[in-house]
């Protein structure tokens, strides 16, 4: 009898396990009928960053006060994991309602089909207010797939004190790569008080996608890139070879810290051992976190062009997207318009330097007082739309690889571009 | 009557193990089987994906033709062999040293365990700081003692990136291997050493004729566990180098992750994982057959 009871208990446990394997149907906490309170889930990496935590706490309070019945649940992931985690949640049929999205992820999201256009969800006036250069970069199949939270091109940050020590004019920074090379040589002749080397020009080439964006920005500014305007591959073109030859020179003369990630460049800039470097506008936050006094010597400029080509940059931005299976898409759109309102952006700008993606916000006093003010007017003009190829992240990693080939690998630029072409013919 | 009882016993036994078997099957074997199956189809992460079909080994052919699979397999083997060899030699040496009566023995044993309690991600970030070329402590110390003149870009150098990650992996795994070997060492009867000393055996003779043979079974288990641990070492490598520079640290784990979660091509990612799985299985079977447990 005892055995029978034990056997029955184990069989019941087995049945329980089998039945428990069902799919989750909806978010119990957020299900409600019309007019019932509900919760929108916002996936973000920024909510985990210590510098912006107070802003996000205030944002949640403000939004819930101004929108009774809608609560916010932050779904925090580290930056490096958010893209994968959101796609997995979407594939499992349980995506968040709003996703903070780095610009390089947009092609993956749009191509995956797990995200929906925001065109019909955001107001027409709101969409029309976005700078055309930025709006065109966020289109996929002629539909707008993301709202820009804020943006920036890749910019040049330089150390005004080192400029003066090197006999350069800090009020007339280089505007071309040729001028930047001369400035870098002058700065690299300096050393700090402990006789440590000072690097002239920092270009990130580390094995991460964001470095690929920086490399692409450089390639485009030399007249190169991946595709021409007709969509033909130009990855092995003259512009790219010229850009890689420039990078090779930087490396050969030890003007650039080799294989650096952006955070390495920010750290070196913060401790006064880097004269000029290319970064996203909000990268200055990383510098200030290490050395708040960097505000005294840090200056900003638009990205370099060359003597034959104007400055160009990929769009670097924090975007907001809405998954196709979002439970509350309208509320998600309400959140997006709220978080990108003048008041909220002004509050966020206190903890992060960025540019505003809508023309009606250009007169904000907070923008005029920010470190990015000198480039605000010219920035939209350097943004260059890049096709939304589904292998964009892989492409960015491939671009870091060709940059590494000509620097630490010692390859010839033509050899590197030929390897890139072979890869592109196979993959793109 | 006896047969009926035996059948009831067997039924009772099966009922007892059924829930656990279902859990293990659902959580381990099913995903592994699904992953292997995905290696033979075109499968990218897309909504409303059309049905998947057999692709005639296209994922494997791609990985072989591009050379990615061979490169990653070679790097993984180098990584595993290097780390495990260093681990076993160092752990046995350290365990023998810390098994003696020396001052600070307990403190040293505790300190050795510190890397074990450090999360892998933190360990990766820590080693990135140590190995940072411009302001990292490794270059600072090496320059101070005159071993190098120019800073070495440990993680950005084709020559040094893999050894650097191996050092970090060694540091992370060492405490576990050490503690298991030390436990094995302490189970060896002291009388054996005493009688060997009476017979005039020196230190090295005692180590090679008593310690190592009697640690054989422990070392066997530790090698197997370290090999498996090193084969699946992903977060350390991915965080420290991302598989670079120029694929110099792209292990099978990194390649599988890149194909699956960077390219969102789960078919190719699963193909890599299948090769990875087969490699570990073949090693485990060969190793357990060739290096058999001995009774003493």
Residue contact B156–A405, C-beta within 8 A? no
Residues of B in contact with A93 (CB under 8 A): none
* Interchain CB contact of B42 with A (< 8 Å): no
Tell me which residue of B218, B219, B174 sits closest to B83, measured CA to CA.
B174
Residue contact B243–A208, C-beta within 8 A? no
Give helix B212-231 / helix B68-98 axis angle, nearest 10°.
140
The domain locations on chain B are 1-38, 53-290
B191: tokens are 């009388």
The answer to whether A318 and A100 are in contact (CB under 8 A) is yes
A140: tokens are 């996929």
Q: How remote is the C-alpha of A357 from its chain's centroid?
A: 14
**3-class secondary structure, B206:** helix
Neighbours of A183 (CB within 10 A): 23
Report the distance separating Cα B274 and Cα B216, nearest Å: 31
What is this model's ipTM? 0.84
* Interchain CB contact of B58 with A (< 8 Å): no
Q: Is the peptide bond before B245 cis (omega within 30 degrees of 0)?
A: yes
* Interchain CB contact of A390 with B (< 8 Å): yes
* Interchain CB contact of A14 with B (< 8 Å): yes
The answer to whether B154 and A258 are in contact (CB under 8 A) is no
**3-class secondary structure, A214:** helix
Residues of A in contact with B12 (CB under 8 A): 3, 6-7
Residue B245 is nearest to which of A114, A390, A408, comparing CB atoms?
A: A408
Residue A10 is nearest to which of B18, B156, B243, comparing CB atoms?
A: B18
Residue B246 is nearest to which of A10, A13, A405, comparing CB atoms?
A: A405
| Pick among B47, B130, B132, B250 to test the A interface (most A CBs inside 10 A) | B47
* Interchain CB contact of B135 with A (< 8 Å): yes
Nearest-by-CA chain A residue for B241: A207
pLDDT for position A51 = 77
* Interchain CB contact of B20 with A (< 8 Å): no
Residues of B in contact with A409 (CB under 8 A): 158, 245-246
B87: tokens are 């681990």
The answer to whether A35 and A69 are in contact (CB under 8 A) is yes
Mean predicted confidence (pLDDT) in B125-130: 95
Tell me which residue of A42, A132, A103 sits closest to A322, measured CA to CA.
A42
Give helix B58-65 / helix B68-98 axis angle, nearest 10°.
80
Report the distance separating Cα B225 and Cα A296, nearest Å: 54
Residues of B in contact with A111 (CB under 8 A): 46
* Interchain CB contact of A92 with B (< 8 Å): no
Tell me which residue of B246, B194, B81 sits closest to A397, measured CA to CA.
B246
Report the distance separating Cα A220 and Cα B116, nearest Å: 47
pLDDT for position A29 = 41
The answer to whether A247 and A406 are in contact (CB under 8 A) is yes
Nearest-by-CA chain B residue for A104: B262
A304: tokens are 């370099």
A289: tokens are 């976190």
Minimum distance, in Å, between the CA of residue B79 and any CA atom of chain A: 19
Go through chain B and tell me how many residues it has: 296
The answer to whether A378 and A311 are in contact (CB under 8 A) is no
* Interchain CB contact of B244 with A (< 8 Å): yes
Report the distance separating Cα B120 and Cα B173, nearest Å: 10
Report the distance separating Cα A313 and Cα A123, nearest Å: 28
Helix (H) or strand (E) holding A278: strand A274-280
Nearest-by-CA chain A residue for B46: A112
pLDDT for position A32 = 41
**3-class secondary structure, B237:** helix
| Pick among A251, A408, A428 to test the B interface (most B CBs inside 10 A) | A408
C-alpha triplet B235, A279, A56: angle, nearest 5°: 70
Distances (CA, A) of A337 to A37, A284, A331: 20, 26, 10
The answer to whether B155 and B136 are in contact (CB under 8 A) is no
B271: tokens are 């193909």
- Domains A38-152+316-382 and A154-314+389-427 equal at CATH topology level: yes
* Interchain CB contact of A111 with B (< 8 Å): yes
Residues of B in contact with A207 (CB under 8 A): 241-245
Query: What is the percent of chain B where pLDDT is above 70?
Result: 98
Average pLDDT, chain B: 90
pLDDT for position A362 = 84
The answer to whether A154 and A369 are in contact (CB under 8 A) is no
Minimum distance, in Å, between the CA of residue A161 and any CA atom of chain B: 20
Confidence of residue B253 (pLDDT cuts 50, 70, 90): very high
The answer to whether A74 and A60 are in contact (CB under 8 A) is yes
Residues of A in contact with B264 (CB under 8 A): 87, 108, 112, 390
Neighbours of B232 (CB within 10 A): 13
Residue contact A259–B157, C-beta within 8 A? yes
CATH class, range A38-152+316-382:
alpha beta
Neighbours of A15 (CB within 10 A): 12
* Interchain CB contact of B14 with A (< 8 Å): no
Minimum distance, in Å, between the CA of residue A7 and any CA atom of chain B: 6
Between B1 and B92, name the one with better pLDDT. B92
Distances (CA, A) of B1 to A89, A216, A333: 56, 81, 73
Confidence of residue B178 (pLDDT cuts 50, 70, 90): very high
Report the distance separating Cα A358 and Cα A340, nearest Å: 9
pLDDT for position A399 = 96
Report the distance separating Cα A144 and Cα A142, nearest Å: 7
pLDDT in tens, B135-174: 899 999 999 999 998 889 999 999 999 999 999 999 999 9
Report the distance separating Cα A70 and Cα A61, nearest Å: 11
A228: tokens are 């021409």
Neighbours of B217 (CB within 10 A): 16
Residue contact A401–B15, C-beta within 8 A? no
Residues of A in contact with B243 (CB under 8 A): 207
Domain covering A154-314+389-427: architecture: 3-Layer(aba) Sandwich (3.40)
Report the distance separating Cα B232 and Cα B224, nearest Å: 13
Residues of B in contact with A91 (CB under 8 A): 45, 47
The domain locations on chain A are 38-152+316-382, 154-314+389-427
* Helices and strands in chain A: count of H runs, count of E runs: 19, 12
Q: Which of residues 184-243 of A touch B (CB under 8 A)?
A: 196-197, 199, 206-209
| Pick among A86, A93, A207, A273 to test the B interface (most B CBs inside 10 A) | A207
Nearest-by-CA chain B residue for A408: B157
Nearest-by-CA chain B residue for A391: B263
Report the distance separating Cα B1 and Cα A274, nearest Å: 88
Mean predicted confidence (pLDDT) in B190-195: 92
Beta strands in A38-187 (DSSP E): 38-44, 70-76, 98-102, 115-116, 139-140, 143-144, 147-152, 154-159
Report the distance separating Cα B179 and Cα A177, nearest Å: 56
pLDDT for position A108 = 87
CATH class, range B53-290:
mainly alpha
| Pick among B44, B119, B264, B268 to test the A interface (most A CBs inside 10 A) | B264
Q: What are the residue ranges in chain A where pLDDT is below 50?
A: 23-33
Residue contact A259–B66, C-beta within 8 A? no
Residue contact A409–B241, C-beta within 8 A? no
A312-341 burial, b at 16+ Cβ within 10 Å, e below that, comes to bbbbbbbbbbbbbbbbbbebbbbbbebbbe
B98: tokens are 């810390």
Distances (CA, A) of A18 to B34, B213, B215: 18, 48, 44
pLDDT for position B36 = 93
């Amino acid at each position: 009898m005892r055995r029978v009871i034990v056997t029955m208990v184990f069989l019941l446990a087995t049945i329980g396990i089998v039945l428990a394997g069902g799919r989750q149907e909806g978010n119990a906490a957020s299900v409600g009928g019309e007019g019932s309170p509900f919760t929108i889930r916002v996936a973000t990496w920024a909510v985990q960053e210590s510098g912006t935590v107070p802003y996000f706490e205030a944002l949640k309070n403000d939004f819930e006060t101004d929108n009774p019945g809608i609560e916010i649940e932050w779904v925090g992931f580290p930056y490096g994991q958010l893209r994968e985690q959101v796609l997995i949640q979407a594939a499992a049929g349980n995506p968040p309602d709003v996703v903070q999205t780095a610009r390089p992820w947009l092609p993956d999201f749009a191509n995956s089909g797990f995200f929906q256009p925001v065109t019909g969800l955001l107001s027409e006036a709101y969409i029309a207010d976005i700078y055309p250069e930025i709006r065109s970069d966020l289109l996929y199949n002629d539909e707008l797939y993301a709202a820009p939270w804020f943006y920036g091109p890749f910019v040049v940050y330089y150390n005004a004190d080192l400029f003066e020590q090197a006999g350069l004019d800090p009020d007339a920074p280089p505007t071309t790569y040729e001028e930047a090379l001369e400035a870098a040589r002058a700065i690299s002749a300096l050393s700090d008080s402990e006789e440590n080397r000072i690097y002239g020009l920092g270009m990130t080439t580390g094995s991460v996608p964001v470095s690929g964006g920086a490399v692409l920005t450089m390639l485009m500014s030399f007249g190169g890139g991946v595709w021409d305007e007709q969509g033909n591959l130009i990855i092995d073109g003259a512009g790219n070879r010229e850009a890689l030859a420039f990078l090779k020179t930087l490396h050969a003369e030890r003007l650039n810290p080799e294989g650096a990630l952006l955070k390495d460049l920010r750290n070196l800039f913060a401790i006064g051992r880097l004269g000029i470097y290319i970064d996203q506008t909000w990268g200055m936050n990383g510098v200030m976190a290490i050395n708040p006094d960097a505000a005294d010597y840090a200056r900003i400029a638009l990205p370099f062009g060359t003597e034959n080509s104007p400055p160009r940059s990929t769009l670097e931005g924090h975007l907001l997207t809405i998954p196709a299976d979002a439970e509350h898409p309208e509320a998600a759109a309400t959140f997006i318009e709220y978080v990108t309102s003048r008041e909220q952006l002004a509050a966020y700008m206190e903890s992060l330097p960025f540019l505003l993606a809508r023309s009606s916000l250009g007169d904000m006093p907070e923008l005029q007082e920010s470190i990015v003010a000198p480039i605000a007017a010219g920035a939209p003009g350097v943004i260059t739309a890049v096709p939304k190829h589904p292998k964009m992240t892989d492409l960015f990693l491939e671009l870091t690889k060709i940059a590494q080939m000509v620097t630490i690998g010692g390859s010839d630029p033509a050899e590197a571009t030929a390897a890139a072409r072979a890869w592109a013919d196979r993959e793109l | 009557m006896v047969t009926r009882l035996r059948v009831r016993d067997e039924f009772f036994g099966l009922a007892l193990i059924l829930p656990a078997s279902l859990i293990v099957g659902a959580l381990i074997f099913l995903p592994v089987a699904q992953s292997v199956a995905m290696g033979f189809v075109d499968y990218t992460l897309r909504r409303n994906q059309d049905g998947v079909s057999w692709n005639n080994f296209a994922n494997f052919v791609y990985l072989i033709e591009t050379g990615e699979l061979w490169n990653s397999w070679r790097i993984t083997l180098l990584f595993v062999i290097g780390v495990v060899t260093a681990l076993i030699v160092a752990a046995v040496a350290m365990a023998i040293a810390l098994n003696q009566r020396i001052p600070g023995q307990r403190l040293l044993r505790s300190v050795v365990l510190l890397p074990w309690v450090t999360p892998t991600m933190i360990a990766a970030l820590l080693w990135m700081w140590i190995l940072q070329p411009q302001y990292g402590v490794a270059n600072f110390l090496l320059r101070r003692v005159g071993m190098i003149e120019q800073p070495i870009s440990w993680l950005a150098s084709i020559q040094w990136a893999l050894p650097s990650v191996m050092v970090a992996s060694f540091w992370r795994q060492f405490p576990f291997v050490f503690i298991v070997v030390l436990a094995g060492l302490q189970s060896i009867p002291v009388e054996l050493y005493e009688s060997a000393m009476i017979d005039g055996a020196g230190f090295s003779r005692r180590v090679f004729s008593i310690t190592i043979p009697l640690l054989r079974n422990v070392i066997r288990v530790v090698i197997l566990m370290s090999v498996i641990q090193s084969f699946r070492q992903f977060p350390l490598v991915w965080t420290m180098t991302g598989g670079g520079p120029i694929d110099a640290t792209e292990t099978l784990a990194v390649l599988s992750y890149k194909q699956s979660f960077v390219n969102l091509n789960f078919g190719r990612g699963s193909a890599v994982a299948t090769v990875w799985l087969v490699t570990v299985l073949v090693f485990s079977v060969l190793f357990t057959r060739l290096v058999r447990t001995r009774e003493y």
